[in-house]
Structure 1
Amino acid sequence: MRRIQLVALDLDGTLLNEKREIPLSLVERIEDLQARGIHFVVATGRLYPAALPYARQLALKGPLIACNGAMIRDTKDDRTLHHLTLDRGQGREILKELQKEKEDILRFSFFGDQVVTDTPHLFTEKYEKALGLSFSYVNNLHDHMEECFLQDHHPTMIVLMTESSVTARITDKIFQRFGDQVFVTNSHDYFTEVLHPMATKGQALAQVASMLGLSQGAVMAIGDNRNDLSMIEWAGTGVYVGNAPAGLHERANYVTKEYQSWGVLEALDKFFPE
């Protein structure tokens, strides 16, 4: 069995349990593996500030992959190591396309460490509570984005939040409209996320491995959803936890029987025997 030296962990639906906590037994297991020289990196769709507390809890010192791979920050000093954003044309056209939707939706965009929306909605409270963030409200997201472009401040990601029954249709619509001009993914059944075409967890994980001087074969990635697929396929050992959509299982090297954080613990026990 190849020697794994770096483990990338998704947060929501993977490392975190249903209470959005990391069980103590998993914290201790990760601490033990770090003491044995194994590196860990959080790789999440969350903004950096919403992911940092979990990295701190695990005493991770080094890169953190945020915004589905569009951003890599150093947890030691918060320095930005890598940041991919949408350009003016992409941002404008994506918002224009989303404004055509008649469904009950929440549109918002990530600008640096800020979440901006022009559609106050019941979903905002759910999202704020889930990620420990507060929205900044503007009258018109398109106008706000244009003002940001004039200051050379580009959006990291544009997100649509709606009922899960609508998400697949909108995701497909954006993919058909923009093709490889952007990267479209889903971190949850109710999110459609649009990013720079190279902004994936897979490319970000490859950069982190390179920073650490590690080969692809020395890397394991563990996730639960479509936005994790790129890193699971890139890593030498790709793992989906048991709660991942069934259609993704065949894309991984291993699928755990356990769900969420208990699936992570199962994977660590399998690939790092005592």
Structure 2
Amino acid sequence: MKNIYITDLDHTFLRTDLSVSDYTKKIWNSYEQDSIISIATARTYKKTMQFLQGVSINAPMILLDGALIATVDKKIVDTKFVSKEMADVIIDEGAKLGIYPFVLSLLDQELNESFTYSFTLNSYQTEILKRYANDDHTQGYKNLRAMEDNFKIVYMDDEEILIELKNRIEKVFGDELKYILAPEAYMGCYFLTILHKDADKAHGIESVSEAAGFDLSRLSVFGDNLNDIGMFDLAKVSIAVANAHNDVKKMANVVLPHTNDEDAVAKYLEGLRDG
């Protein structure tokens, strides 16, 4: 039976500049033949594939915080959507506070994605959009409405206002939805991600386990942020990088001495090979 290694991307496997070093590619790819290797990320399929050029993946990927499970060759294994009706209510609740989200949606079965936003943007959102300047799937609207199949609704702002928004939305939907409030390490703000109640990395790993037929008792996972804790609970071995959130380190079986910028995942894997 093969061992399984699943890693988060941002601030874990990717360097801060969103690159993957040649060293990390070499070590990670060396596990392809005798292990199951994949990723679990908040990123979309398109962005993930851009970042992982030259990186081997031989099992379905957990994307968009678990809202999408798909293979490298675009086979959809599972989806968890927020309905248009629910998403529009969420947008309206945010509008009462003068804030608007990014809405990430599925357009078709070829994994074409929609990234929509309101023309009313705060400084954090304006900065993020600069990184998507060359992407053809982003679209701004004066009157933002959701699509039919929405993976997630994401707000970026100061912690206090997002706590208030989270409380408002929870009063409407309760546990019908999942709410992730966490610091945004790149921007210095917070983000509130709203998803289907079963869209998370833990449920994603269970879906991948069923699709790939692997044994969870042989699973090791790598992560750094609060949305990784669910998969830490499932794994035989949970590994936090040195730059991980303190709450994540507390949950980990192993806390690495190296950061994502120091090839932490690859150094751990190389250490396993060295005995």
Q: TM-score range by the shorter chain?
A: 0.7 to 0.9
Offset, 1:179:
3.2
Q: Is the 8 A contact 1:241 1:263 kept in 2?
A: yes
Name the structure where helix makes up a greater proportion of residues.
1
Q: Which amino acid aligns with 2:60?
A: P
1:53 aligns with 2:56: no
| Stretch moving more, 52-61 or 209-218 | 52-61
Aligned mates of 2:260, 2:91 — CA distance in 1: 33
The residue that corresponds to 2:109 in the other structure is none
Aligned mates of 2:94, 2:78 — CA distance in 1: 28
The residue that corresponds to 2:140 in the other structure is 137
Aligned mates of 1:269, 1:170 — CA distance in 2: 44
Residues 231-246 of structure 1: pairs in structure 2 closer than 5 A: 231-246=231-246
The residue that corresponds to 1:118 in the other structure is 118
Structure 1 residues 66 and 139: alpha-carbon distance in aligned structure 2, compared to 1, 3 A threshold? same
1:69 aligns with 2:66: yes
| Stretch moving more, 91-100 or 107-116 | 91-100
Aligned mates of 1:273, 1:174 — CA distance in 2: 50
Q: Which of 31, 35, 56 is equivalent to 1:38?
A: 35
Q: Is the 8 A contact 2:84 2:149 kept in 1?
A: yes
Structure 1 residues 94 and 271: alpha-carbon distance in aligned structure 2, compared to 1, 3 A threshold? farther
Name the structure where strand makes up a greater proportion of residues.
2
Offset, 1:51:
0.5
1:23 aligns with 2:18: no
Aligned mates of 1:166, 1:265 — CA distance in 2: 38
Q: Which amino acid aligns with 2:128?
A: Y
Aligned mates of 1:187, 1:164 — CA distance in 2: 8
Q: Is the 8 A contact 1:106 1:160 kept in 2?
A: yes
Q: Which amino acid aligns with 2:56?
A: A
Aligned mates of 1:57, 1:136 — CA distance in 2: 30
Aligned mates of 2:38, 2:168 — CA distance in 1: 33
Q: Is the 8 A contact 2:77 2:211 kept in 1?
A: no
- Aligned-residue Cα RMSD (Å) equals 2.5
Q: Deviations over 1:77-117 (max 9, x none)?
A: x1222111012442233222212224xx4511011111001
Provide the aligned length of Structure 1 versus Structure 2: 260
The residue that corresponds to 2:187 in the other structure is none
Aligned mates of 1:200, 1:180 — CA distance in 2: 14
SS in 1 for 2:154: strand
**TM-score computed with the length of structure 1 as normaliser:** 0.84
Q: Is the 8 A contact 2:67 2:80 kept in 1?
A: yes
Residues 255-266 of structure 1: pairs in structure 2 closer than 5 A: 255-261=255-261, 262-266=263-267
For structure 2, which runs of at least 5 residues remain unmatched after alignment?
Answer: 107-112, 185-189
Structure 1 residues 72 and 183: alpha-carbon distance in aligned structure 2, compared to 1, 3 A threshold? same
Q: Deviations over 1:5-34 (max 9, x none)?
A: 111111111111121111111111111122
**TM-score computed with the length of structure 2 as normaliser:** 0.84
The residue that corresponds to 1:154 in the other structure is 149
Q: Which amino acid aligns with 2:201?
A: K
Aligned mates of 1:106, 1:89 — CA distance in 2: 16
The residue that corresponds to 2:110 in the other structure is none
For structure 1, which runs of at least 5 residues remain unmatched after alignment?
Answer: none
Offset, 1:222:
0.8
